[in-house]
């Protein structure tokens, strides 16, 4: 590698990371300036929104910068671009929901941390290096502790923050441990190079026992972010104790980074392997169990809940289970299957997009509907009769709940359709049975889960209103939740645009570009496999 | 014509949106808009019926039929298309939906006073879903409409229903939704099997293409039905889960009486008249046409469920004192006949089943409307409290008797035209099944005549102790024009189909023949596979590969 080439790579990397750098700079300025200037809460929120808008511009401006995949620490492929764009856009929705949450004095820190969380998510999406991936994940975690603690300093939130803090640290440690195994296998931290090594014909690579250890620990660490079994149990307590906007963020951002990290560090690296491979065989079994257990636990426990936030926590666990089904399918089918009509990663990404709108919409609308004492509705009974007293918010909530339930033609249905279709068509022959069984388990779960969403709708429309609720929050909440409800409907009826983006993203994540002429040492010695078109379009 | 079909499907939805969005509508204006919309929809349905060419066996009024796939592109990849079209099987159910749409609006004319615009909007949305379902030529579109119909009816039962409405609506929704999800998996399985094994790995969602492709799949395993885990049997069972609940077949019927009793009159009419047909229509389109060998192998199982439903439904109907419950259980019994006829999988049985679906929609719709008219006046459905209505409402009594006799399959009325071919076809396959099913017909005549005897004939009995005063119901309103308008066309068709069934059969027959041809092709494939390998155990659990074995 010549010095010029190294310089060029670093330059391009910085260009690619410019949206994140911009967000982080804005966050640092906000947090540093806050003790010295008095700015109203709305202003801080507006500054954060402006930073997001600037991030979008920077993202679009650097669309065509492509650093060398085997040398740079980030990639700028379709997945990186679309996911970062989506995360930035969804940031406006979270801001809209949370704009009144922090107390006046701590608004700058609150919105600053939010920008950091966004930047962390985006770094995870574009990471091409184990260390950068970990940095991205931590950049999400650490400001999240602040979020949990900043908004309200009651005993309950303190408990939630502490619980989340210790478990998060624990899971990060597990993840880091797994990543070191991955590094130890190949001696490189570059993810594309790891993928190229896995697809090469080097004997005994990846070694089965070390490979399984790496996958188990990485998955264990990421299950915490996804709120998947066995590291799901914090979710109901933390959600219940946190204010609604924080819970909304917790239900959305950690899921994105969890799925993205699994894609970047595991499925894309192992994309060249298929179900016949002994390592993949074990990984699929592991994911199968995690997916089935997560879905079942989330849905069954959801049936018992009366508290809205706990109910939504179990709902988010159940949805993590559906995403794990797609990831299981992605592992099983590898990258190069022409005849799976939805690839697992494509389905997982689409489901994330659908999930963002329906779950943020649900949280936002519940937040907006306040009782006479100014507190938002806490139990499902509080929503009784709201269908007739607050027609428009109730309609939006109904749309979001029906989408969570998987009702056609809303986005949740399309998402479930893609996930179960991907599981169904991932492999052919006798090995397909277990994945198809997983799809059946998922469908039965969707049927169980339908009950607790439907119960809310039944109460909203068929119940009697005891304590009238009023819709509050002003135009930002109305705009954010309205956008969620409308988009839930629109991307269900016309899923083509999102679907195409997800497809390109999935294809690009699994692609191994040709090594540059001046091959970096990491891949020298590996038989650089030619780039194969992963998903035929 | 493709545009006209799409317009027919979407017109009720436009009407529903108008009802929701126009501000300040009262009951009178809302019902007029609803009636106008449903009348125009019916007119368009009739226009389509007039333009339907009986000789063509492929779907008609479909866009892009001449070259390439049907319909308009909807999702780019995979190629899910917005494809609508009608063939001889769906056209009648489509027209029936249009007709019952008008009946439903007229049946709710006076009885719905609360939130009338919303009510009619849900009614029209439901009609939209049903029309779309019968016209869908794409499996995803079919499934979307299949589930979509749940929401309007869920709200109709839950908001305007009887005292137990909350439970009834949840039951109805969850039960059918759970089955529907398994059906979705079955549909995905069909598509995947077709994609993985058809020559050229064609990924298609089009119902006609799938039917064709699956009947000539070059995959031996597909034609083997000698175990419970062979692909065709498994897919059959997945598909069957949703459709059997919707029909409903015997052990899955528990949601139906509750939903019927709690639903408002119009809800019951559309539920029994059209919604149950979604199940039997799905069975024809998917189970019979795409997995016929499994249907054939599982015939004993299917026939047993049908006969059990026929007898059980009839006996339970006999034991009811609530008129609506009686008609609801009679539906369970009659739907058993419909599925029994199609399970025989020959021309006669299919023709009978399809016409019987229309017949059942007409007669049961009329019966529910009659019961609803009495309920509106007396606020009770107990047969012990109402009697001799002949003396008070001769016109209603006429319609009541007419519909009951049609339902009891009196020769000369429509029920006979449908049940006779069904029983003939069943006799050819399994005489004992036919004998048992015929018992159901006798019981049917028994409970319907009993209903007439108690409610229509005898001395006039009216419920007492009601707030109209204790001198009986001297001031109940007479039968209004809208009630006559609701029942008149149904009665006319009951007679017309009974006397001149040929125009109906003429359009059903080509499509039914097309279907039996597909079935025949699969049987040939099975015979080929059977000839090739002799490893199939003779005493396998479900071993009915050849026709002769039956």
B246 near B549, Cβ under 8 Å? no
Q: Indicate the burial class of B113 (C-beta count within 10 angstroms; 0-12, 13-18, 19 or more).
A: exposed
Q: What are the C-alpha distances in Å from A421 to residues A345, A348, A426, B187?
A: 12, 12, 8, 10
Are A339 and B77 a contacting pair at CB < 8 A?
Answer: no
Look at residues A356, A480, A519, A491 and name the one whose alpha carbon lies nearest to residue A417. A491
CA–CA min distance B63, chain A (Å)? 20
The per-residue pLDDT for A525 is 47
Interface of B with A in 138-177 (CB under 8 A): 140, 143-144, 147-148, 150-151, 155, 158-159, 165-166, 169-170, 173-174, 177
A-chain residue closest to B146, CA distance: A408
Alpha carbons A384 and A456: distance in angstroms, whole number: 8
Please list every residue in chain B whose beta carbon sits closer than 8 Å to the beta carbon of residue A424: 185, 188-189, 192
Element (H, E) at B72: strand B72-73
Residue that wins the pLDDT comparison between A176 and B78: A176
Residue A47 structure tokens = 């500054």
- Which helix (H) or strand (E) is B73 found in, with range? strand B72-73
Chain A CB within 8 Å of residue B178 CB: yes
CB B247 within 8 A of CB B272: no
CA-nearest residue of chain B to A444?
A: B178
Average pLDDT of the residues in A259-272: 89
Give the per-residue pLDDT at A150: 80
How are beta strands B72-73 and B81-82 bridged, if at all?
antiparallel
Residue B472's pLDDT band, with cuts at 50, 70 and 90, is low
Calculate the dihedral angle through the C-alpha atoms of B258, B260, B263, B268, rounding to the nearest 10 degrees. 170
Poorest-pLDDT segment among A137-141, A246-250, A372-376, B398-402: A372-376
Residue A432 has a pLDDT of: 81
Does residue B491 carry a pLDDT above 50?
yes
Task: Please answer yes or no on whether B189 and A500 come within 8 Å at the CB atom.
Answer: no
Percentage of chain A with pLDDT > 70? 94
Give me B162's structure tokens. 């009887």
Instruction: Report d(CA A66, CA A56) in Å as an integer.
Output: 18
Whether B188 sits inside 8 A of A417 (CB atoms) is: yes
Give the residue from B192, B234, B241 with the most A CB atoms within 10 Å of its CB, the best one to mutate. B192
For the entire predicted model, the pTM comes to 0.91
How far apart are the C-alpha atoms of B470 and A122, rounded to whole Å?
Answer: 77
Q: How far apart are CA B395 and CA B486, in angstroms?
A: 13
Q: Scanning every residue of chain B, which has its alpha carbon at the shortest distance from the alpha carbon of A441? A: B182
The pLDDT tens digits of the residues spanning B380-409 come to: 888 888 888 888 888 999 999 999 999 988
Radius of gyration of chain B (CA): 23
Q: Decide if B537 touches A, using CB distance below 8 A.
A: no
Of B450, B273, B457, nearest in space to B356 by CA: B273
d(CA B289, CA B57): 14
| Minimum Cα–Cα distance from B144: chain A residue | A408
Average pLDDT taken over every residue of chain A: 87
Predicted local distance difference test score (pLDDT) of residue B535: 55
Residue A281: pLDDT band with limits 50, 70, 90:
confident
């Amino acid at each position: 590698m010549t010095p010029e080439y190294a310089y060029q790579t670093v330059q391009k990397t910085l260009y690619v990371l410019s949206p994140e750098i911009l967000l982080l700079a804005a966050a640092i300025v906000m947090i540093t300036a806050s003790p010295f200037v008095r700015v109203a809460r709305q202003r801080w929120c507006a500054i954060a929104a402006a930073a997001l808008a600037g991030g979008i511009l920077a993202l679009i401006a650097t669309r065509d910068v492509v650093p060398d995949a085997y040398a740079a620490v980030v990639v700028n492929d379709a997945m990186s671009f679309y996911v970062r764009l989506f995360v930035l856009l969804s940031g406006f929705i979270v801001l809209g929901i949370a704009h009144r949450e922090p107390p006046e004095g701590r608004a700058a820190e609150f919105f600053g941390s939010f920008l950091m969380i966004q930047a962390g998510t985006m770094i995870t999406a574009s990471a091409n290096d184990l260390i950068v991936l970990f940095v991205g994940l931590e950049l999400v975690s650490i400001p999240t502790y602040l979020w949990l603690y900043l908004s309200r300093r009651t005993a309950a939130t303190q408990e939630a923050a502490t619980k989340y803090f210790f478990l998060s640290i624990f899971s990060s440690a597990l993840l880091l441990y797994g990543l070191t195994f991955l590094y130890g296998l190949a001696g490189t931290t570059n993810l594309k190079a790891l993928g190229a090594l896995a697809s090469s014909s080097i004997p005994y690579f990846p070694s089965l026992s070390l490979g399984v250890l790496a996958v188990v620990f990485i998955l264990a660490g990421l299950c915490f972010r996804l709120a998947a079994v066995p590291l799901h149990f914090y979710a109901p307590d933390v959600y219940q104790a946190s204010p609604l906007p924080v819970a909304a963020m917790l239900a959305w951002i950690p899921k994105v980074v969890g799925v993205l990290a699994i894609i970047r560090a595991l499925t894309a690296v192992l994309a060249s392997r298929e179900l016949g491979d002994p390592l993949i065989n074990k990984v699929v079994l592991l994911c199968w169990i995690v997916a089935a257990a997560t879905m079942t636990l989330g849905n069954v426990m959801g049936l018992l809940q009366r508290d809205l936030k706990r109910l939504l926590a179990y709902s988010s666990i159940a949805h993590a289970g559906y995403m794990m089904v797609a990831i299981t399918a992605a592992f099983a089918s590898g990258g190069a299957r022409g005849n799976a009509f939805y690839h697992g990663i494509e389905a997982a990404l689409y489901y994330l997009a659908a999930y963002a709108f329906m779950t943020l919409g649900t949280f936002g609308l519940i937040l907006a509907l306040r009782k006479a004492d100014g507190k938002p509705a806490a139990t499902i009974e509080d929503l009784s009769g709201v269908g007739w007293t607050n027609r428009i918010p109730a309609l939006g909530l109904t749309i979001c709940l029906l989408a969570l339930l998987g009702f056609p033609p809303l986005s949740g249905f399309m998402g479930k359709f893609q996930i179960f279709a991907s599981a169904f068509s991932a492999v052919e022959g006798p090995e397909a049975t277990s994945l198809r069984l997983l799809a059946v388990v998922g469908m039965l779960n969707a049927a169980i889960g339908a009950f607790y969403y439907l119960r809310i709708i039944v109460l909203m429309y068929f119940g009697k209103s005891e304590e009238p609720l009023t819709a509050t929050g002003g135009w930002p909440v109305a705009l954010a939740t309205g956008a969620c409800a409308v988009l839930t409907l629109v991307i269900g009826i016309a899923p083509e645009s999102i679907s195409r983006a997800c497809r390109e993203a999935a294809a690009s994540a699994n692609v191994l570009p040709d090594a540059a002429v001046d091959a970096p040492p990491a891949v020298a010695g590996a038989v650089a496999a030619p780039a194969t078109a992963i998903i035929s379009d | 014509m493709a545009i006209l079909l799409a317009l027919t499907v979407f017109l009720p939805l436009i009407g529903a949106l108008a009802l929701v969005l126009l501000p300040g509508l009262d009951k009178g204006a809302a019902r007029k808009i609803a009636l106008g919309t449903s009348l125009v929809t019916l007119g368009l349905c009739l226009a389509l019926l007039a333009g339907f060419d009986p000789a063509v066996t492929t779907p008609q009024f479909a866009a892009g039929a001449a070259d390439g796939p049907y319909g308009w592109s909807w999702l780019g990849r995979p190629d899910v298309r917005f494809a609508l079209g009608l063939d001889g099987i769906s056209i009648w159910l489509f027209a029936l939906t249009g007709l019952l749409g008008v009946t439903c609006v007229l049946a709710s004319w006076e009885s719905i006073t609360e939130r009338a615009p919303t009510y009619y909007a849900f009614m029209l949305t439901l009609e939209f879903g049903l029309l779309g379902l019968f016209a869908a030529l794409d499996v995803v579109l079919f499934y979307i409409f299949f589930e979509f119909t749940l929401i309007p009816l869920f709200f109709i039962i839950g908001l305007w229903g009887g005292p137990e409405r909350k439970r009834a609506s949840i039951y109805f929704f969850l039960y059918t939704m759970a089955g529907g999800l398994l059906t979705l998996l079955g549909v995905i399985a069909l598509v995947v099997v077709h994609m993985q094994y058809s020559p050229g790995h064609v990924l298609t969602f089009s119902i006609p293409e799938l039917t064709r492709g699956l009947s000539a799949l070059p995959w031996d395993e597909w034609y083997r039905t000698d175990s419970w885990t062979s692909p065709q049997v498994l897919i059959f069972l997945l598909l069957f889960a949703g459709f059997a609940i919707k029909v409903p077949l015997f052990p899955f019927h528990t949601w139906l009486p509750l939903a019927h009793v709690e639903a408002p009159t119009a809800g019951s009419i559309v539920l029994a008249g059209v919604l149950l047909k979604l199940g039997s229509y799905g069975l024809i389109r998917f189970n019979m046409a795409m997995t016929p060998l499994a249907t054939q192998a599982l015939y004993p199982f299917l026939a047993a469920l049908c006969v059990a439903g026929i007898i059980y439904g009839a006996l339970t109907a006999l034991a009811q004192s609530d008129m609506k419950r009686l008609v609801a259980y009679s539906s369970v019994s009659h739907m058993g006949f419909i599925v029994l006829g199609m399970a025989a999988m020959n021309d006669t049985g299919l023709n009978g089943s399809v016409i019987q679906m229309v017949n059942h929609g007409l007669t049961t719709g009329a019966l529910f409307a009659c019961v609803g008219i009495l309920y509106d006046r007396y606020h009770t459905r107990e047969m012990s409290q109402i009697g001799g209505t002949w003396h008070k409402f001769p016109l209603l009594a006429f319609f009541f008797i007419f519909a009951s006799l049609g339902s009891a399959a009196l020769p000369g009325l429509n029920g006979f035209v449908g049940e006779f071919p069904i029983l003939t076809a069943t006799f050819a396959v399994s005489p004992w099944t036919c004998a048992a099913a015929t018992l159901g017909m006798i019981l049917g005549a028994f409970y319907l005549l009993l209903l007439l005897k108690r409610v229509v004939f005898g001395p006039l009995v009216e419920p007492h102790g009601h707030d109209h005063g204790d001198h009986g119901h001297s001031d109940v309103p007479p039968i209004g024009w809208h009630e006559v308008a609701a029942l008149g066309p149904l009665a006319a068709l009951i007679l017309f189909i009974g006397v001149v069934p040929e125009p109906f059969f003429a359009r059903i027959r080509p499509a039914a023949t097309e279907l039996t041809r597909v079935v025949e092709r699969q049987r040939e494939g099975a015979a080929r596979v059977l000839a090739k390998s002799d490893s199939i155990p003779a005493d396998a659990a479900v071993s009915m590969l050849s026709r002769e074995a039956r």
